[in-house]
Structure 1
């Protein structure tokens, strides 16, 4: 049952209250509980996970991050906690089925200029310049454009070239790494969330679902971690300064009858766009004989969802002959302001809304002042929020680099 209004007061002093049961909220709750704090977590929906939810069978689509990067800080934390496995890497058979759409046709290899640029250390890219200007000087306009469109897989933004060169280059360097950093939770991100929730329960975290919090709980009895979207945190805290740019993407989930030779990934280098066969590393995500594809196609603020879906269908025409007749299930959506932070020229993650909001309130999420790529931002901010909350309770303090 939904519980509008203010959350119930913690049952005893010294309790950490977490608002939001997604990846960030569960990370903060587990960390605080492991340090000896009593923890209550409130989740507005009937299930935990936030944007890391996975839909029920037969088509187990992900609503949030689609891959775990093994170079990120959450990888080692999940592994140490026994929460990581099982995960699937990009299989060699799938790695050779990457296709790159440029000049209106599919290619087996990306432009050499893109590869040259991807190898450059992120530290070489300036914070103050936009990516298009810096990359054009490095490899020429054509290579810079292809790189900007390719890295949209980690940005969900319609114009990556307009963003800070340092911000974009960090992501390009990671997504183009060989061997690929990307791994996939078997069973979808929902399976990972279930393991995290079980760990929280074992630690004594009190989890209340269908408990919508309309006002930030009082902090007299302990600190509060707000682990929601930035828009929700802005409403909850009544703080209009909680703003930061994000992307906007048309999302397409598609099930096709299986066909030998279908690409694993089709990356659009003519415009930002990405299609990926998620039932490759995890066959249980779709019924036998079917393949589950998920794609995102960033759209500008003035564009409609239909514009992004039209680009998706052009990519399908190029890479999947007869896909319309093979379609067994389809879903479309528009993700606006919920795809993580993007940093304009002259800014870094340090300029985003701070974790510490004062008076015992802390923020966690993917648009907060914390480093990392995709879900790593949510993880790092959650660790920082938990560390600050525990310091306030004088129970424990985590390594300073998490704060």
Structure 2
């Protein structure tokens, strides 16, 4: 019987542990914190905020895998489109529809974007500079990067299409992502996986295959491998609880600069006390910008979309997510160029910044399955049974 050690109890680590245990391996998971989840943690009540925006895309492979194992659970229903109050900021004002030329970039019939050209240049040739900048800024909802137009056109196009698909692919586990993590942990325990929390690993065990399911910086330190780097975003996260007022927007996307606000209690009232609304904003900031810069931009969006919000605040929290928002691919690179899953000598790397396809958490999922396949000496795993 194979023995596998998994370092990290987040989404990737639990995916790897469940997959390996289902294939007959004896698995031990070591998690440095007292709770599982990694970036998929959800704060305790009364304000159940995720550590940054999280969405489960039903067009991805992890949706099928989770559904087959009855792990998705209850989902928060999206507000009907006719009542959702989705707004776009363009030229400093709120509007209901995007610039018409921007729609050219969203059509499924539009040509495939190249890998080796930046998105802004490619999109400008197709739809004009104004539409290209608006589309690039809108794509920040799935990129968390201060300059999406400078990234690979193919990389941005894939995320833009997934984020604007109708009906929406994005879904939200009711009660926050911690509910999904709890179900995954229960599945792992029922399969006999040994889970050790408050167990930081500083030295790799040498007697079993090891799957490192941590952030890329943490993996770099653990493996003492300076090559484990890849560009990511730097984003100001702002969480607000407001006293409820009828007419507030469901979501606001900034087309003048990258940024996004969403009222999560519009779909899941359990995230905040009765009579209060929970909002989360993500405002990407550049290398020379501060948290205060991002906060100021978030407050500009709030002023436009949430009338009297300053007098309605009951709770507030701010943070900066630096290099914690997944990989971004520069022109001339793709997911294949990121740090490889197989690090040699029985060590395998997973996470959302490694060489695996997909959008957002799909990268972590795909890398976890690849790592387990390699650790078990298989070319692939059956997603239904392995």
Superposed displacement of residue 122, structure 1? 8.1
SS in 1 for 2:29: strand
Query: Hey, what's the Cα distance between the residues in 2 that align with 1:138 and 1:93?
Result: 28
SS in 1 for 2:373: helix
Q: Is the 8 A contact 1:65 1:375 kept in 2?
A: no
Q: Is the 8 A contact 1:65 1:374 kept in 2?
A: no
Unpaired stretches in structure 1, ≥5 consecutive residues:
1-12
Query: Hey, what's the Cα distance between the residues in 2 that align with 1:128 and 1:328?
Result: 47
Superposed displacement of residue 15, structure 1? 1.1
Question: Normalization by structure 2: what TM-score?
Answer: 0.97
Superposed displacement of residue 399, structure 1? 5.2
SS in 2 for 1:110: coil
> Are 1:168 and 2:151 counterparts?
no
Question: Which residue of structure 2 lines up, in the alignment, with residue 300 of structure 1?
Answer: 286
SS in 1 for 2:27: strand
Query: Hey, what's the Cα distance between the residues in 2 that align with 1:250 and 1:177?
Result: 26
Q: Is the 8 A contact 1:51 1:65 kept in 2?
A: no
Pick from 79, 94, 115 the counterpart of residue 91 of structure 1. Answer: 79
> Are 1:154 and 2:137 counterparts?
no
Q: Is the 8 A contact 1:122 1:166 kept in 2?
A: no
Unpaired stretches in structure 2, ≥5 consecutive residues:
none
Superposed displacement of residue 87, structure 1? 1.2
Deviates more, 1:92-101 or 1:328-337: 92-101
Query: Hey, what's the Cα distance between the residues in 1 that align with 2:286 and 2:362?
Result: 25
Pick from 27, 48, 53 the counterpart of residue 15 of structure 2. Answer: 27
> Are 1:76 and 2:64 counterparts?
yes
Q: Is the 8 A contact 2:53 2:282 kept in 1?
A: no
Query: Hey, what's the Cα distance between the residues in 2 that align with 1:95 and 1:123?
Result: 33
Query: Hey, what's the Cα distance between the residues in 2 that align with 1:95 and 1:109?
Result: 14
Superposed displacement of residue 85, structure 1? 1.6
Cα RMSD over matched residues?
A: 1.5
Superposed displacement of residue 305, structure 1? 0.8
Q: Is the 8 A contact 2:52 2:237 kept in 1?
A: no
Q: Name the CA shift for 1:121/1:109 in 2 (closer, same or farther; >3 Å).
A: same
Over residues 117-171 of structure 1, what are the superposed CA-to-partner deviations in whole Å (9 max), with x where a residue is unaligned?
A: 0124686100000000000001000000000000001001000000000000000
Query: Hey, what's the Cα distance between the residues in 2 that align with 1:86 and 1:122?
Result: 36
Query: Hey, what's the Cα distance between the residues in 2 that align with 1:286 and 1:93?
Result: 23
Q: Is the 8 A contact 1:129 1:346 kept in 2?
A: yes
Q: Name the CA shift for 1:122/1:37 in 2 (closer, same or farther; >3 Å).
A: farther
Question: Which residue of structure 2 lines up, in the alignment, with residue 55 of structure 1?
Answer: 43
Pick from 241, 250, 254 the counterpart of residue 268 of structure 1. Answer: 254
Q: Is the 8 A contact 2:104 2:110 kept in 1?
A: no
Question: Which residue of structure 1 lines up, in the alignment, with residue 177 of structure 2?
Answer: 189
The number of aligned residues is: 383
Query: Hey, what's the Cα distance between the residues in 2 that align with 1:311 and 1:105?
Result: 14
Over residues 205-256 of structure 1, what are the superposed CA-to-partner deviations in whole Å (9 max), with x where a residue is unaligned?
A: 00000000112221x2x21000000000000000000000000001000011
Q: Is the 8 A contact 2:57 2:63 kept in 1?
A: yes
> Are 1:398 and 2:381 counterparts?
yes
Over residues 42-91 of structure 1, what are the superposed CA-to-partner deviations in whole Å (9 max), with x where a residue is unaligned?
A: 00000000000000000000014511111011101000001012112422
Q: Is the 8 A contact 2:370 2:380 kept in 1?
A: no
Question: Which residue of structure 1 lines up, in the alignment, with residue 4 of structure 2?
Answer: 16
Question: Which residue of structure 2 lines up, in the alignment, with residue 376 of structure 1?
Answer: 362
> Are 1:39 and 2:27 counterparts?
yes
Q: Name the CA shift for 1:123/1:27 in 2 (closer, same or farther; >3 Å).
A: farther
SS in 2 for 1:201: helix
Question: Which residue of structure 1 lines up, in the alignment, with residue 339 of structure 2?
Answer: 353
Pick from 194, 217, 225 the counterpart of residue 205 of structure 2. Answer: 217
